[in-house]
Structure 1
């Protein structure tokens, strides 16, 4: 993993959503909806680190078992508690994460949700990674990796059908958990989907040259032939940080106004 979780921090290119989404038969609008609700469409913070949320109740659960009483230490240090919602989340989860890693690195990384799709580290295998460390390193490198991991998880959990068919409650239950209705998760998904449905989709062929031409059928068909071009590097990087691209800024601004 890169030092301080600052890697290449490459933003999505315009064609990443349609090409990666098409692997599960989803167009841009469905994917945009999930990203808006989970991360406001941006996978990195101002320092170029993946957006995260450290979950103390998951850290508490993962520290169970024989051996040194690491759970008691984590509780004493305010890094773990038994039930979700016992205490408010801080504005920045990284200090908590780094402190938790001193107790148990793997459990700490598994207890945070990461990137565009806020994918929990404990789901690294479903996202296509052998270890949570591998997943975190990849997510530090690019939003494209974050998106691909999210899509792999959706497919692994059998949620792609619900997303394709706009069964928002079914998708929300599987992706956000059984308490999804408390924060109107499915309602917000629908709202963001309707918003993006009114915006013209990306023209994939306009972004591919003869050597790397990306050929797509209708995104709803769920079939891709060829490899998409690599995402463009981040621009306007300051002190290892990242400025969101056009679509990330656009989605974030409108999200704040409409969600």
Structure 2
């Protein structure tokens, strides 16, 4: 079901034709993940003698409250009204979420060569050691796990923010209002957390993850040169060179290349990792990594 059609209003004050009610119940059952803790509705086409107490009406109100941010949800779906349109929009999104799967791991992953680094350094106008320093600090110099999947780190606090905190209570391991180090499982096990989040909201889960050698966040897909986060993730799985190209696009679009050229690691760290970079001494780590590679 990618959309629903109703002939008359359903819910409180609605006509509640049997077929219309049945269609709405089927749709709500498809959208249960958006309206926790709602349970699956019995698809019988009826609201009962007291619609104000019906589980279907409660589900409609919850949808209006959580998804439409209605202060006073009325529990009614008018034909082509605001709730009807938003429900169809979410059904289309849910269909996309169900069909999306992470890219297949490449049998042979092409490794970066010195010429790749030199090429990118020339594009940015900086030293090769500066680029290697970022790669070293972000992912310990490795782009992929031993299983062939790109290195990732799933961020529960980002997912919580992008999904308006709707999964904080039902899925605390993957949706947290605040950053919580204890939620990390580390290594390739981060994919297990990502998969759980993807079952709730694929697009926002991909955006809430940092990817590859340069650990670029998925929500930065546009700045990295891609039209969608799915296209970005496909590139991350594809090759180290595509990860490197994404890094170049990101750095240029964020205006950070000047800091790589001048070796202003504090300014680069702030622009690349945010204002909290000092907590992890990110700029200090970059300086030490640069000195290591600049000696070679």
What TM-score does the superposition give when structure 1 sets the normalisation length? 0.71
Q: Write the distance in 1 (CA, Å) between the matches of 2:290 and 2:138.
A: 13
8 Å Cα contact 2:168-2:177 kept in structure 1: no
Aligned-pair CA distance for 1:74: 5.3
Q: Which residue of 1 aligns with 2:177?
A: 82
Name the SS of the counterpart of 1:171 in structure 2. Answer: helix
Structure with greater proportional helix content: 2
Q: Write the distance in 1 (CA, Å) between the matches of 2:111 and 2:238.
A: 9
8 Å Cα contact 1:21-1:151 kept in structure 2: no
| Residue correspondence of structure 1 range 84-163 to structure 2 within 5 A | 84-85=179-180, 87-91=182-186, 92-163=189-260
Name the SS of the counterpart of 1:113 in structure 2. Answer: strand
8 Å Cα contact 1:36-1:192 kept in structure 2: yes
- Segments of 4+ in structure 1 off by > 4 A? 1-5
Aligned-pair CA distance for 1:12: 1.1
Name the SS of the counterpart of 2:288 in structure 1. Answer: helix
Gaps of 5+ in 2: 1-99
Higher relative contact order (CA 8 A, sep 6+): 1
| Residue correspondence of structure 1 range 192-211 to structure 2 within 5 A | 192-199=289-296
Aligned mate of 1:165, from 252, 262, 266: 262
Q: Write the distance in 2 (CA, Å) between the matches of 1:31 and 1:2.
A: 31
8 Å Cα contact 2:160-2:167 kept in structure 1: no
Aligned CA RMSD, in angstroms, stands at 1.6
Q: Which one has the largest radius of gyration?
A: 2
Q: Write the distance in 2 (CA, Å) between the matches of 1:2 and 1:44.
A: 18
Aligned-pair CA distance for 1:166: 0.5
| Residue correspondence of structure 1 range 173-252 to structure 2 within 5 A | 173-199=270-296
8 Å Cα contact 1:127-1:149 kept in structure 2: yes
Name the SS of the counterpart of 1:72 in structure 2. Answer: coil
Aligned-pair CA distance for 1:76: 1.6
Aligned-pair CA distance for 1:85: 2.4
Q: Write the distance in 2 (CA, Å) between the matches of 1:24 and 1:194.
A: 19
Q: Write the distance in 2 (CA, Å) between the matches of 1:124 and 1:73.
A: 24
Q: Write the distance in 2 (CA, Å) between the matches of 1:18 and 1:2.
A: 35
Q: Deviations over 1:106-158 (max 9, x none)?
A: 00000000001100000000000000100110110101111110111011001
